[in-house]
A = this chain, B = another copy of it.
Amino acid sequence: MQLIKRRGTLVVVSAPSGAGKTTLCHEVRTLVPDLYYSVSYTTREPRPGETNGTDFFFVTEGVFTAMRSRDEFAEWAQVHGHLYGTPAKAIESALSRGLDVLLDIDTHGARQLRQRYPEAVSVFIMAPSMAELEARLRERNSDAPVDIARRLSRAREEIAAWRQYDYLIINRDVKDAVDQLATIIQAERCRTSRLTLRFPDMEVPA
């Protein structure tokens, strides 16, 4: 029997608003065991139903900028006037324990993460069309019309970055899209670049 050790995969997921990213990242945890879901810090207000420490760590701008000055974020960004950041230590610790880490992040944050962690695997989620994306944004009651317009304009910018990602998922059907995301994470578990291997009964390079 050989001994096998695996470093976790850093999975970076981006999508324009309305493409269904939050749902996919939540649902995929039911299909893929041992997935570490990083919780971001943000200065925005919680939306109805959001819980501190589960959806986000909701902090003041003072707390956020102090953390940022201590280089505690793997990436950070300002989106729609609010600050968002990913705690570096938590994800690095999970990866070294062999856990896969799922990060739900915008395209600017994804760019920072790829520079800091070149071994990261990135996935872009897209709606089937701009018309579909707009329809999904309008269904979301919590957004005011001015927010919808701003999100749509930003969506175009984000979609233009799809080629910088390793994988693309078109979210036509939530179940199919969740399956595809799970498949990508599970395939990456077989990547030789993250494996260390020893055969006690023969000489094989590790």
**A interface list, Cβ under 8 A from B:** 1-2, 4, 123-124, 126, 128-131, 156, 159-160, 162-163, 165-170, 180, 183-184, 186-188, 190-192, 195, 197, 199, 201-205
Contact = CB atoms under 8 A, between A and B. Distances in A.
B170 A191 contact: no
Stoichiometry, copies per complex: 2
Given A129-B201, A199-B129, A163 B187 contact: no
Contact of A180 (B124, B168, B190): B190
A128 B1 contact: yes
Contacts of A156: 202-204
Contact of A130 (B131, B159, B184, B202): B202
A159 B129 contact: no
A129 B168 contact: no
Contact of A201 (B124, B131, B166, B184): B131
